[in-house]
Amino acid sequence: MPRPALWTAIARTLTTEIAEGLYRPGDRLPTEAALSARFGVNRHTIRHALAAMAEAGTVHSRRGAGVFVASRPMDYALGRRVRFHQNIAGTGRTAARRVSRLETRPATTHEATMLKLAPGAPVHVSEGVTLVDGQPLASFRSVFPAERFPDLPDALARHNSVTAALADCGLTDYTRAETRLTAKLADPVLALALQVQPGAPVLRSVAVNVDAAAVPIEFGITWFAGDRVTLTVNPDQT
């Protein structure tokens, strides 16, 4: 019977150590150089082992930071008042938001329809990635009516929270009017943002938030990394 390839044995050893709790979710694995020295192999063999573990969902890599043990899927509640930081804080983890695009432009036809605006009305667009304990959880795009919130871009730049930014602009409360969930596959650009493999499963959430008078104030699309989150819906949640 042929002996298993070295990289297979190394991947199996590291996976077993993770299962036994020697490396916990979120921990960084030793460097390639350290693993090469430990197992007496070259870095190419170590990279092959780590790539197989990443494909199995056991670890994930962060460019320039290293290879980390994948976190277990976390529950993310969808209710009438969905607040990202509040959701994450309830799990005992650390939430962050990294904005990559913040601009004002004419609304697309679909955005204008969802926000009940005139065709081509100005909107503020915020795009980026939400992170939990430093690991990307979701990629987002939020669109807001610019005429109603003229100072929102400055507020979003000051705050790491949409809720806090909207409060600065005079809106202290809003609720979710509609959420649509669809299973998708990550294209290369989305895969890069979420640090997953192209073609990995993602959950797309399309939602509209409204004020107390049921006037739309935000149209949002969020792409969740499918293996990092369990979306939960409670019809009684306020």
Pick the CATH number of 6-69 from 3.40.50.300, 3.90.740.10, 1.10.10.10, 1.10.357.10: 1.10.10.10
Sign of CA dihedral 143, 145, 148, 150: positive
| Least confident window among 127-131, 132-136, 167-171 | 132-136
> Both tokens of residue 166?
């909207």
- Average pLDDT in the 40-61 region? 89
Residues 6+ apart with CB under 8 A from 165: 152, 155, 156, 158, 159
- 122 pLDDT higher than 60: yes
Query: How high is the pLDDT of residue 113?
Result: 97
Residue 33 has pLDDT above 90, yes or no: yes
Would you state the pLDDT for residue 81? 73
Average pLDDT value for residue range 35-41: 95
Task: Tell me the domain boundaries of the chain.
Answer: 6-69, 74-233
pLDDT computed for residue 198 by the predictor? 87
SS3 200: coil
Q: Which fold has domain 74-233?
A: Chorismate lyase (3.40.1410)
pTM for the full predicted model: 0.71
In sequence order, the β-bridge partners of residue 67 are: 61
Highest mean pLDDT among 26-30, 130-134, 180-184: 180-184
More confident residue, 230 or 72: 230
As a whole number, mean pLDDT of residues 54-72 equals 81
pLDDT exceeding 70 applies to what percent of the chain?
91
Whether the pLDDT of residue 18 is over 90: the answer is no
Q: Alpha-carbon distance 8 to 34, whole Å? A: 18
Is 199 in a helix, a strand, or coil? coil
* pLDDT at residue 157 is higher than 50: yes
CA nearest to 208, candidates 110, 101, 61: 110
The stretch 199-210 carries a mean pLDDT of 92
Q: Please, are residues 95 and 89 in contact by the beta-carbon 8 Å criterion? A: yes
Mean pLDDT (the chain, rounded): 88
